[in-house]
Structure 1
Amino acid sequence: MTTISLPTYFDRDTLSGFFNELEKHIDTDDVCLDCSTIRFSKPTAMLVAGSKIRSWVRSRHRRGLKTRKKGVDTYSSAHSYLKHIGFFDFVLMGAGNCVGEARGSSTYIPITRITKPELGEGENALEQWYEDIQSKVRGLARVISGKPETHQDNRMYNYALREIIRNVFEHSGCEECYVFGQRWFDGAVEIVVVDEGVGIGCTLRETLGDITDQEALKQAIKPGVSRTSQLSDAENTFDNSGFGLYVLTEVARSFGLYVLTEVARSFGWYALGSNSAKLIGYESNLEESTLNFNGTYFGFRLTRSPSDFSSLAKDIIKAGEQEANVDGIERKASAMSKLF
């Protein structure tokens, strides 16, 4: 029997080696996943690792390979936390709360499954589709912001969750995605959305041709870049303009802290990963690396919120439209991308 230990720390930069071990033993007949090694967990890394594990486990089950678990019942604060938020159910280990069972608290969202709403017919069908998504994220944004709906913090997280989730349902081919988020007592916030769809590279190749996954990610964070860029208004069913992800990466980048220590660098960043590629952005830095992941995730952490998110987002969109125009992209940000 081969044993694979989960990382001691589920953090942004600790997953590559673990993922490589999973892939190395994807075809090994008898493998045990040892969960007793976990001591600490951050939102983005936890949900991304969870998606990877469940994909790995499902692949092995389909082929009749023996997969064991160990250490799920380890007594520690980390294990209690992961059980409570639904992690072990999410990774198909059958322990703790089921996904959606935990109620969360005033400072965190447990692992939450969001399903794609139906797009109806009629003049207001698209507006209703957007509202269905908005209704799904409204309560999540209130928890993460810790503020009433009229507050700028709440508007920002409403915008962030809405834009990420609608991107999932417009492009990934998925009928569901998963969300997790936490707000700490010092005001720092981290949220992540994961889908298990076709990936950004697959969708952007429809418009940009034969590009790598890494090139696709770098294009995806530019203003006005979308698989719908060359579609007519009639064909662009969801009125996608390619500005939502651009706005979010610019906000995260602008409010990141640039400090040389590794600990401090864990604050103020965004992470975008899809299939074989990953980007981490903070201030003017963009780190590129490889990944082995089925789907797409977007996570970001802010140490503080902008004092006036609406004004900041408008400025970012204005600059983005000018940048897109220079690059030969005439499409403006959609009405939804401008709704703060």
Structure 2
Amino acid sequence: MNIYAPQGSEFEEIAAFAEELQETGNSEEVVIDFSRVKFMTPAWSVLVGGLLRQSKKEKPDIKRKAINFKRLSYAAHIGFFEYFGLNYGQKPDEAFGSDTYVPICIRRIDEVRKLASEKFTAVGDILHDEAERLSTILTRTDTGDLQDTLAYSIREILRNVVEHSEAEDFVFTAQYWPGSRKVEVVVADQGIGLATSLSENPGLNIANDEEALKQAILPGISSKAWRNKKHYDEWANSGYGLFMTANLCSHGGSFALISGGKMLRKDQDSETFLPFRWPGTVVVMQIDTEKIDKLSDRLAALRDEGAAIERSLKKTATGPSKASSSAKPSKWKRADDKSV
């Protein structure tokens, strides 16, 4: 059975590729043909590579072969082929990256927790450091609204993966296009998915993947926040991370959330749903760097908007944790130190 890899980054085409892989059930051999590939984005790399990785895991007895791929030198350089098990090019994390891209990187969640323990700090601090490193690479500066916005958005998504996915690892990559002044960041896991995760909350009725996506971007919605009593904890899970990030990104670009069998796409004017098979959860953030407002002002507005929505849904509102409503841990910690 021959399958063509998607030629570009259109989500509909990648979704169709996912369905074709699913239909290989009784095939003795599957040939993946990369001859049609024209344009690769971070989303293309993570989604296509992740789908091939999962297919190999689910159907290990099928013989697999890739053809017409050696012309894709950039894909080889960023670790795309090694990501799904083809011995060609560099491994994930191996390329140094540049001021316009971050190669495919894989982090084991148990190692993130171990590092936090060794440093006597919170997991959130470790993830924030990773997020700032990525945003500094892409913006070529460690200050400013764009750097703050990227660091905040990446950090909140990484927190959601570590706290909710139950995955062994997660993958991320990013790219900045100077010509269009746009940034794309992708974070993905192959864990339990949003529907299963949110079903742990007895106050939610999650009937399907589409409902899980709708609920996930509402404020105060979480599989764990409902039983969290430590509201003083700066890294407390308040169920605001996806709400804040989705609205922040869509205000100056677009936001996509994929889990189970559905995808939600959100921009400033609309929300749409698309069938998309993915075992776990993926977040794709696209930001127009020319539309970035001052982050502190935007977060304050979203915090107030979220609290109002939460009250309308639950009659009461706990509001976001410090982490979900602040750009940098260093700022709130310095403020706390001064008050002691």
TM-score in terms of structure 1 length: 0.88
Which residue of structure 2 aligns with residue 300 of structure 1? 285
- AA aligned to 2:113 is E
Spell out the pairing of 1:132-147 with structure 2 (5 A cutoff): 132-147=126-141
SS of corresponding position for 2:174: strand
Greater displacement, 81-90 / 49-58? 49-58
Which residue of structure 1 aligns with residue 81 of structure 2? 88
Q: Are residues 1:37 and 2:24 paired?
A: no
Cα deviation, residue 234, structure 1: 5.5
Match of 2:209 among 201, 210, 213: 213
Which residue of structure 1 aligns with residue 198 of structure 2? 204
Match of 1:247 among 240, 244, 249: 244
- AA aligned to 1:82 is A
Which residue of structure 2 aligns with residue 224 of structure 1? 220
C-alpha distance in structure 1 between counterparts of 2:64 and 2:116, whole Å = 46
Greater displacement, 80-89 / 202-211? 202-211
SS of corresponding position for 1:294: strand
Percent identity reads 25
C-alpha distance in structure 1 between counterparts of 2:136 and 2:153, whole Å = 12
**Larger relative helix fraction:** 2
Spell out the pairing of 1:1-340 with structure 2 (5 A cutoff): 2-61=1-60, 64-73=61-70, 75=71, 79-116=72-109, 117-118=112-113, 127-147=121-141, 149-185=142-178, 186-207=180-201, 208-233=204-229, 239-255=236-252, 268-304=253-289, 305-328=291-314, 329-340=316-327
Provide, for residues 164-189 of structure 1, a one-character-per-residue CA deviation record: whole Å limited to 9, x for no partner.
00100000002321111111113111
- AA aligned to 1:114 is R
Provide, for residues 30-81 of structure 1, a one-character-per-residue CA deviation record: whole Å limited to 9, x for no partner.
11111222111121132112111110022222xx2211221222x3xxx111
SS of corresponding position for 1:112: strand
Change (3 A) 1:196 1:236: farther
Structure 2 unaligned blocks of 5 or more: 328-340
- AA aligned to 2:163 is E
Provide, for residues 106-133 of structure 1, a one-character-per-residue CA deviation record: whole Å limited to 9, x for no partner.
11100011232226999x96x5322111
Q: Would the aligned equivalents of 2:108 and 2:169 in 1 still touch at CA under 8 Å? A: yes
C-alpha distance in structure 2 between counterparts of 1:144 and 1:248, whole Å = 18
SS of corresponding position for 1:225: coil
Moved over 4 A (4+): 119-122, 234-238
C-alpha distance in structure 2 between counterparts of 1:201 and 1:135, whole Å = 29
Cα deviation, residue 250, structure 1: 0.8
C-alpha distance in structure 2 between counterparts of 1:178 and 1:162, whole Å = 13
Aligned-pair Cα RMSD in Å? 2.1
TM-score in terms of structure 2 length: 0.88
- AA aligned to 1:338 is S
Cα deviation, residue 212, structure 1: 0.8
Cα deviation, residue 284, structure 1: 2.5
**Matched positions, count:** 318
